[in-house]
Amino acid sequence: MGIELLKQEHYRIFDQTSLGNAFHATQSFAMDDTLCASVATEGAAIRSWVHHETVVLGIQDARLPHLDQGIDVLHAHGFQPVIRNSGGLAVVLDAGVLNVSLVLPERGGIDIDSGYEAMLALVRRMFAEETDAIVAGEVVGSYCPGSYDLSIAGKKFAGISQRRVRGGVAVQIYLCVNGSGSARAQLVRDFYAAALQGETTKFVYPTVVPETMASLEELLQLPLTVESCLLRVYRSLMELGATLTPSVLSEIENERFGVNLGRMLDRNEKVLGE
């Protein structure tokens, strides 16, 4: 079912990988909600983006007993926190991490696993010439662990999530393209150590083991860039018969984006005061 979901006739392309530091993660989550709401009439979309020195926190992270001290650790390393509008846990984003959203209409219904399998199929196609060893399954010791962690030889390089809004589903992935996967994991480990301070909580936060994570460049032992990986995304979709059109938001979508961004900013103001 995963590969069949990828076979859309047409994708609108929203490439936001080169917007720089001015492009804030709250805008990304507002964008995906906006595209979900219009995908039934406007058609499927692929959105790509990069955020610099950002740690995206989940709803459970916002309930950490010493969240302020954890945020101090992030700031000390030059990172800014953002609270997402969905589940999941802390994820590190920087210039070496490519994020991709596959936004599809829920015509006839798309079950949760099918959405995950579609993104898994896309990533496997992207790197089919280099490896057949990409595995989906929880990597214990990684940050933001889940059943659709992607790994090679036991080391996680990507995580997949989903967001469903008004007839659309955004299947989102972060790909650690280059840089040190273990250094990113060390940052998250330090964050949780400061935010928990040894306290027992109802929710069990991950015990992060930096050695369980790596970048694709480290795993495949070849030079990779965000730009080259994005080209692999486009090439894989075109090989499945899709046409790709660079796009911008319509007037109606821009209005929705403003509303969605306002909600994200309110959420972050309440939790982070920023």
Active site (catalytic) residues? 144
In order of 17, 104, 256, the CA distances from 38 in angstroms are 22, 10, 9
In 3D space, the residue among 205, 229, 203 whose CA is nearest the CA of residue 144 turns out to be 205
Q: Which secondary-structure segment (H or E) carries 6?
A: helix 2-6
User: What distance in Å separates the CA atoms of residue 4 and residue 15, rounded to the nearest whole number?
Assistant: 23
Q: Is 20 left (phi over 0), alpha (psi -120 to 50) or beta?
A: left
One-letter amino acid at 63 equals: R
Q: What is the DSSP string of 44-85?
A: -EEEEE--SSEEEE-TTGGG-TTHHHHHHHHHHTT-EEEE-S
Instruction: Give first-to-last CA distance, the chain, whole Å.
Output: 42
